[in-house]
A and B are shown apart, each in its own frame.
Chain A
């Protein structure tokens, strides 16, 4: 079974802190994605990556950055957390090709105070 793990299920941070969300997949997938999920808005793509050291902006990249130094790991970084970044963050991975199934991690619920 494909396994996508996220470093924390719940996280509480203060405004202005630098926040790292880690995602690891064990299926040698080329593609990795970060989404945020908000009630009434569904899932929105923040960033994605097709390969190591590659990144592409999604629909809502402002206030976020990403890092992919190894194929299995994709990190989402909030340089200076703000209260409007309180949300559920979901990581996903897939094989190369846009039609491939995306496999999701359980999510990290982030609260910024």
Chain B
């Protein structure tokens, strides 16, 4: 069965530091992959998505993600984190017509 694993439940970084959030997927064919962010008290917002083509995907708010088939990974990165990036981040894979979400990674940003 298709699944998504986010190994890190909670990550803490200092403002201005770089960030990488890990996502591993299990899927037989070429996966369609997504990253969503949930700010406190709000619904989820799409950061970026990958369907095919260039394996480095640019998203909103300065985020990017790299698809690595050999590692079954789709890690999210940002070169310099801002305090407003504190949120919960969800990786998801499309399974036929439904999204399968990971369990999320909560990001805390210290000044």
Interface set of A (CB-CB < 8 Å, partner B)? 4, 40-45, 48, 58-59, 90, 92, 98-99, 101-107
Contacts and interface: CB of A to CB of B under 8 A. Distances in A.
Given A42-B101, A58-B98, A90 B32 contact: no
B51 A102 contact: no
Contacts of A44: 101
Interface stretch (B14-22, B37-45, B75-83): B37-45
Contacts of A43: 44, 90, 99, 101
B87 interface: no
Contacts of A41: 103
B96 interface: yes
Contacts of B104: 42
Interface in B96-111: 96-99, 101-104
Given A41-B103, A99-B32, A104 B98 contact: no
Given A42-B104, A105-B43, 20 more contacts: A41-B103, A42-B101, A43-B90, A43-B101, A48-B98, A59-B98, A92-B43, A92-B44, A98-B32, A98-B94, A98-B96, A98-B98, A99-B94, A101-B46, A101-B49, A102-B46, A104-B36, A104-B43, A104-B44, A106-B41
8 contacts: A43-B90, A48-B98, A90-B43, A98-B32, A99-B51, A101-B49, A104-B44, A104-B45
B42 A45 contact: no
Interface of B: 9, 32, 36, 41-46, 49, 51, 90, 94, 96-99, 101-104
A45 B103 CA distance: 13
Contact of B44 (A45, A58, A90, A99): A90
Which of B9, B44, B101 has most chain A Cβ within 10 Å? B44
A11 to B, nearest CB: 15
Contacts of A42: 90, 101-104
